Structure 1
Amino acid sequence: MHIEPGFIAQTKIMLANAGAVSVLGWYAKDLLRRPADILRTLLAAVFFSLFMQSFHVGVGPSELHFVGAMAIYLTLGFLPTLFGFAAGLLLQGLLFEPADLVHLAVNSLSLVLPLIAVHYTLGRTLRETTNGHRIGWRTILRLDAMYYGGVTAMVGFWLLAGDVATPFAAWAAFAASYLAVVAFEPVFTYATLRLLKRYEHRPWVRFCFAVHGLRLA
């Protein structure tokens, strides 16, 4: 989901910077009102960085990564995941790929805008409904498909707006590569949820994670 340096002009990068600051600034007040989410944000950033470094392969104009997006979102919550993605990209750029810092805002928006869409359509109801909605394989697969569909669409948007002509086939190959992620990540997400739910009454789990309001099928 990284856009490689050189694809996007500086003026458009500046617009992306403004957009990323606006999105994060809008939600920052909510994060500050929830002190427990600050620790979870740090955990999200660390987990996300580890996942990204564990598997990454260049595919056309971008890269295929193991992100663990829905595992982080469902176990840590919306705000920690939102800020954790941005912080994780910053951490990765500082430690491993300094060249990627040029597109920090671009890559952050590619992750956080689909997350916002997922949260306000499918994700939020999993915590707010009181009708006993249970999370099963089908629910997680829908969340993953919607999220990674949004990520690949965002990459397509940046490439379309870029100054380097990119064949549609190159973007299509990148988008198709995420089918493997969508197939594997629900298994990882469900196993993670099952493990944390088993110990959800432990003080450290309740303090560090946000799984107590979820019900598994």
Structure 2
Amino acid sequence: MHIEPGVVDGAKIILSYATAAVSLGLAAKLSADTVRNDGGVTALASRSVVTTALVFCFFEVLPHYPVGVSEVHLILGSTLYLMFGAGPAAIGLAAGLLLQGVFFAPFDLPQYG
């Protein structure tokens, strides 16, 4: 997000879609592991809701700095991973970013995926 359309060439866009597909597969595997080993669907859902809310707040409250054609947000991803686990952290990061886009930057949503 925050990268103007047309700045990144087509080959890199295809690579970004491949990276997103692999990331989605890994998040699904980590979520399945959480369901199997750490308390079931309820635990995954509750942790994911909490991480989503935290990521949304982090995007809006914590500082972000322009870097090149994009910007860097302090989102405390490692802290979320350590506190809630990999599956819920992955879901929370994706959902929090989506919520931030829906409410504050809908013009960036075509680049979300």
Would you say the 8 A contact 1:31–1:38 is kept in 2? no
1:74 maps to 82
Provide the residue aligned with 1:96 in structure 2: 104
Determine if the alignment matches structure 1 residue 4 to structure 2 residue 12. Answer: no
Question: 5 Å matches for 1:1-217?
Answer: 2=1, 4-6=3-5, 7-10=7-10, 12-32=12-32, 34=35, 35=41, 36-54=43-61, 55-105=63-113
Alpha carbons of structure 1 residues 56 and 69: separation in structure 2 relative to 1, 3 Å: same
Do the aligned partners of 1:5 and 1:102 also contact (CA within 8 Å) in 2?
Answer: no
Residue by residue over 1:134-175, the C-alpha shift from the partner in whole angstroms, topping out at 9 and shown as x without a partner, is xxxxxxxxxxxxxxxxxxxxxxxxxxxxxxxxxxxxxxxxxx
CA-to-aligned-CA distance 1:31-88 (integer Å, 9 cap, x gap): 1451212221221121111101113343432213221222212111111112211121
RMSD: 2.3
Bigger radius of gyration: 1
Unaligned stretches of 5+ in structure 2? 36-40
Indicate the residue corresponding to 2:38 in structure 1: none
Structure 1 pair 19–66 and aligned structure 2 pair: CA distance change class (3 A): closer
- Cα distance in 2, alignment partners of residues 26 and 40 from structure 1: 17
Q: Which runs of 4+ in 1 moved over 4 A?
A: none
Mapped partners of 1:9, 1:95: distance in 2 = 28
Segment drifting more, 61-70 vs 76-85: 61-70
TM-score (norm 1): 0.42
**One-letter amino acid matched to 1:17:** Y
Q: Secondary structure at the match of 1:8?
A: coil
SS in 1 for 2:25: helix
TM score, norm. by length of structure 2: 0.73
Residue aligned with 2:112, SS: helix
Match for 1:64: what amino acid? V
Partners of 2:77 and 2:27 in 1: how far apart? 19
